[in-house]
Structure 1
Amino acid sequence: MMAKPRIVEAKEILRQSTQGRTQPFIVRDVMDEQYVVKGIHGVGQPSLVAELICAELARRCELPIAEYALMRFPAGMLDFSMEPRASDLKGGLAFASKVAAHSQDLLFSQISEVDEVIQQRLLLFDMWVNNEDRRLSAQGGNVNLLWSSVNGLVVIDHNLAFDPINGNGDFENHVFSHQRACFADLEVRARHEAVLDAALNDWDMIIDSIPLEWLYHDIDDDTSEIHPSLAERFNLLARLRDPSFWSLI
């Protein structure tokens, strides 16, 4: 049985990132580890839920997801921070992705260095959770993958997953879109499908790890669940078990 995400304590807000649409914060915890951190008031509850569900699923799918945790801020830290937008981190526990040392954005020229099984698995995973936000071509893109010759590939950023919740995304420009043809091989398909299906079997355990303040506009009113709801997200993932899913690949 996999453990729930750790809770780490913030010690110092180092800076706000200028990269990416979400502009997360770089925060040092009490163990002097650095994390890329997104808070409720910054990216919103649905995005944090997407991050945690996808991180938990990716871990079970044996993808090299960045180490992650939930981050708690001491009373007063955010109110008295010198960072102009520190209030973005308010609202409760934040999602924290550990900084991958010595890694940079994956370059188009480095794609061939990534293991082909990982390429296939990540393409399929992103199509499964409707995460279009991993594009890269010779002209550039927003790949949301880190690479180093020492540590290899690190998978980050799933805040845009499950969007659209009804329908299918556009994956023609996915960094590993050239792997789509591999799924015509039924043996390759079955091998990946078994891993994703086993991960989905842990759904109840995964959603049990989501902080309540991420799930409800009013935690005392269980009818105020965020959109898309957990049920809608599960239904999207459950299409993996419908043969028609493979016609989309």
Structure 2
Amino acid sequence: MLDVIEIQQKASQGRTEPYLCRLSDNKRYYVKGPQAGAKGLINEAVCAYLGSALQLDVPAHCCAYLPQGLLRFDDAASRVLGDGDSMVFASELVPDLLEVTPTSVLTMPEQYARDLFLFDYWIRNEDRTMTENGGNPNLFYRAASKQYVVLDHNLAFDSGYDFNANANVHLAYNAWFGAQHDALWRPHYSAKLAIALQGLPQYAATLPPAWLEAAPGYLAEINDTLSLFNSDEFWEVLI
């Protein structure tokens, strides 16, 4: 397990106010704590695992220990990260990222865009929007490696998720509905989702007990949501 050894600065973006920190592996990570809530932290970790399993470019991540001593004289960080002696979610800093724009999102590879659209539908995430006037994409581009990096999933598994009301503002809506899928698209994605979900219990066993105790039964709810891909109803809205 990694420890937070230095709190550096608050991120310029993000409603949960992540802090850039250095961890005991001497790498820098954006850290989220109590401000995100127990469910938000679980969402971040689970979706980072699932996104990686689906071969989306999600930054390396971990759950890290935040010692009390680092926050003793930092009131601003304490307001967001708590009093310390706690577990936080850490997402490794990827340098030179630019948030996608209505123009740059058009250059995203079509298959990657489709995978991202399905991923957000699967995890009930309405927080990746883009219109000609802007939006909240939570998607970044790194020119050096031509990567589209996927971030921020604390609002996933929304009980009020409404696909019909929100799908058309998802940044990859046109990639999914703008071209015809081949005959094997459903078996292709069903197999990928099944493999990702199969590995979730083992990954979930590594999550901090304090998070799970603060949100009893939540992992079971997440599993029930993710298992919906086994029903015809899950796929019908995607045709």
The reply to whether TM is greater than 0.5 is yes
**Residue 65, structure 1, aligned to residue 58, structure 2:** yes
Secondary structure of 2:91's counterpart equals strand
Indicate the residue corresponding to 1:128 in structure 2: 122
Indicate the residue corresponding to 1:221 in structure 2: none
Indicate the residue corresponding to 1:144 in structure 2: 138
Aligned residue among 236, 241, 249 for 2:225: 236
Secondary structure of 1:108's counterpart equals coil
Q: What is the CA–CA distance in structure 2 between the aligned matches of 1:166 and 1:122, rounded to whole Å?
A: 17
Q: How does 1:180-195 map to 2 (within 5 A)?
A: 180-181=176-177, 182=179, 184-195=181-192
Q: What is the CA–CA distance in structure 2 between the aligned matches of 1:15 and 1:166, rounded to whole Å?
A: 33
Indicate the residue corresponding to 2:81 in structure 1: 89
Scaled by the length of structure 1, what TM-score is found? 0.86
- Measure how far apart 1:22 and its partner are: 1.1
Give yes or no for contact 1:22–1:43 (8 Å, CA) kept in 2.
Answer: yes
User: Once structures 1 and 2 are overlaid, which stretch shifts more, 120-129 or 88-97?
Assistant: 88-97
Q: What is the CA–CA distance in structure 1 between the aligned matches of 2:198 and 2:12, rounded to whole Å?
A: 38
Q: What is the CA–CA distance in structure 2 between the aligned matches of 1:142 and 1:132, rounded to whole Å?
A: 10
Q: What is the CA–CA distance in structure 1 between the aligned matches of 2:216 and 2:191, rounded to whole Å?
A: 31
Q: What is the CA–CA distance in structure 1 between the aligned matches of 2:24 and 2:124, rounded to whole Å?
A: 35
- Measure how far apart 1:34 and its partner are: 1.5
Indicate the residue corresponding to 1:51 in structure 2: 44
User: What amino acid does structure 2 have at the position aligned with 1:123?
Assistant: F
Q: What is the CA–CA distance in structure 2 between the aligned matches of 1:12 and 1:85, rounded to whole Å?
A: 12
Identity of aligned residues (%): 29
Give yes or no for contact 1:79–1:87 (8 Å, CA) kept in 2.
Answer: no
Indicate the residue corresponding to 2:158 in structure 1: 163
Indicate the residue corresponding to 1:4 in structure 2: none
Structure 2: stretches of 5+ with no match in the other structure: none
User: Once structures 1 and 2 are overlaid, which stretch shifts more, 232-241 or 183-192?
Assistant: 183-192
- Measure how far apart 1:132 and its partner are: 0.7
Q: How does 1:10-49 map to 2 (within 5 A)?
A: 10-39=4-33, 41-49=34-42
Q: CA RMSD in A?
A: 2.0
Indicate the residue corresponding to 2:175 in structure 1: 179
Q: What is the CA–CA distance in structure 1 between the aligned matches of 2:87 and 2:79, rounded to whole Å?
A: 13
Aligned residue among 225, 228, 231 for 2:216: 225
Check 1:167–1:210 CA distance in 2 against 1; reply closer, same or farther (3 A cut): farther
User: What amino acid does structure 2 have at the position aligned with 1:137?
Assistant: T
Structure 1: stretches of 5+ with no match in the other structure: 1-6, 218-223
Indicate the residue corresponding to 2:67 in structure 1: 74
- Measure how far apart 1:156 and its partner are: 0.6
- Measure how far apart 1:59 and its partner are: 1.1
Give yes or no for contact 1:45–1:214 (8 Å, CA) kept in 2.
Answer: yes
Scaled by the length of structure 2, what TM-score is found? 0.90
Aligned residue among 105, 119, 124 for 2:113: 119
- Measure how far apart 1:88 and its partner are: 2.4
- Measure how far apart 1:183 and its partner are: 6.8
Task: Determine which structure has the larger helix proportion and give its number.
Answer: 2
- Measure how far apart 1:21 and its partner are: 1.4
Q: What is the CA–CA distance in structure 1 between the aligned matches of 2:13 and 2:119, rounded to whole Å?
A: 24
Check 1:75–1:23 CA distance in 2 against 1; reply closer, same or farther (3 A cut): closer
